[in-house]
Structure 1
């Protein structure tokens, strides 16, 4: 954490460079963002699987960040940059239409009604995601909390700039292709909660 994280951490105090690919040691052709990567299972899996893609990972909790840094060091990955603050700040910092995909998996559901205003999915953050995505870019959301799934569906479609192409129940009940799963998801499945996997395209 003391040696490697400062090299991986994004500095938002300066404007974003014109060429975001230059932020990575690897030669990357595509850019994606994962918001709240938890223990980093999916982030590391994707970075390993797609070395030509640069990944921005956001996680405010130190334990999750430490796990990701350890995995990045152990696997010598050079296509990940990290940020430990509010993902809204990073989305504002990124240039318009700079990302091909934004992933938000198992965010805090804030289940009590009086806390719903704290949910990450809201009109302002959906506007931020939409601005950062390229035309045809993808926003993926997974959760095991039905009320949050419904909440996200309603707000994404209300935004007007996202299309949901699902045709059958399998399109949201089955995990994404190549999905590695996460520890949180495994716990949800053990406890009998069935996740939903939503995919929206920037229209």
Structure 2
């Protein structure tokens, strides 16, 4: 077709073409004859390991996904599949945006809850130890006096035929030793008039 146009569009029939041998000193000399026509966008020719290869943007630009995702060459151009974990997530066309994952917040609030619980336990232990030391400093009779006020002996006693058949419950602090099973109040300091 080019020869026909050179001779003013005369019909030409070529039966034999002879080319002179070309000397290729460097494979880079073939650059004008190499073209990437694979139907993929942004593919370019690259000389690699002594041969020409069609290379997509993912290989040309290793940081295309900002090292937060995996790059894939598709027909429309490069796309990124962003990395995700329970602690962090990357998103955006080139994985350039960052947000915390659910696991990060779960760990954060779990640690805060455990810290608060630990502080509460420490406060309770300190209060108990201080009260225990306060009771240790008191003389034994005084410590027991606070217990005796609330101590009741709820064992049944059979008082015999004088008090009927119902059992009698006794308060050991208020029992008069002379009459077992009968409550005897100590009213020496009480005005009973």
State if a TM-score over 0.5 links the two structures.
no
- Computing the radius of gyration from Cα coordinates, the structure with the larger value is 2
Question: So what's the TM-score if we normalise by structure 1?
Answer: 0.15
- Which structure has greater helix proportion? 1
Q: Indicate the structure whose relative CO is greater, using CA pairs within 8 Å and at least 6 residues apart.
A: 1
